[in-house]
């Protein structure tokens, strides 16, 4: 069964303390690995799409990377406003909708 597994479930960082979030996947015929950010009570906000192993994308303090088995979301020198739930997702071969992992809840303290 195609799925993504995110770890850790929750992460607490001090402001400026860099870290990485993990999304391991078992998806046949991957058609894109997506990262979203979700704030409480809001819909997800698109961050990145990665299509092939070795691909990297950056946006401000975030960098997403992809290997053949997992994706990482690296957060460099995070700020309190980076606190949110980060979701990874994929599109299965059998459909068009995104299937989401359970997310990593990130809290960055001053």
Q: Residues interacting with another protein, by CB under 8 A?
A: 31-32, 34, 36, 41-46, 49, 87, 91, 95-103
Least distance from C-beta 43 to another protein, angstroms? 4
Nearer to another protein, 3 or 109 (CB): 3
Torsional sign, CA 4, 7, 13, 16 = negative
Least distance from C-beta 87 to another protein, angstroms? 7
| Closest listed residue to residue 47, CA positions, set 37, 38, 55, 33 | 37
Nearer to another protein, 19 or 38 (CB): 38
Q: CA 44 to CA 46: how far, in whole Å? A: 6
Least distance from C-beta 38 to another protein, angstroms? 8
Q: CA 3 to CA 19: how far, in whole Å? A: 24
């Amino acid at each position: 069964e195609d799925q993504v597994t995110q770890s850790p479930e929750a992460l607490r960082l001090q402001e400026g303390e860099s870290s990485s979030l993990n999304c391991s996947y078992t998806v046949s015929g991957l058609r894109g690995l997506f990262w979203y950010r979700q704030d409480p009570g809001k819909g997800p906000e698109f961050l990145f799409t990665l299509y092939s192993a070795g691909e990297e994308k950056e946006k401000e303090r975030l960098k997403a990377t992809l290997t053949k088995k997992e994706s990482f979301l690296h957060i460099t020198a995070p700020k309190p406003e980076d606190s949110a739930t980060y979701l990874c997702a994929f599109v299965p071969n059998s459909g068009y909708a995104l299937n989401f992992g359970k997310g990593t809840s990130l809290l960055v303290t001053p």
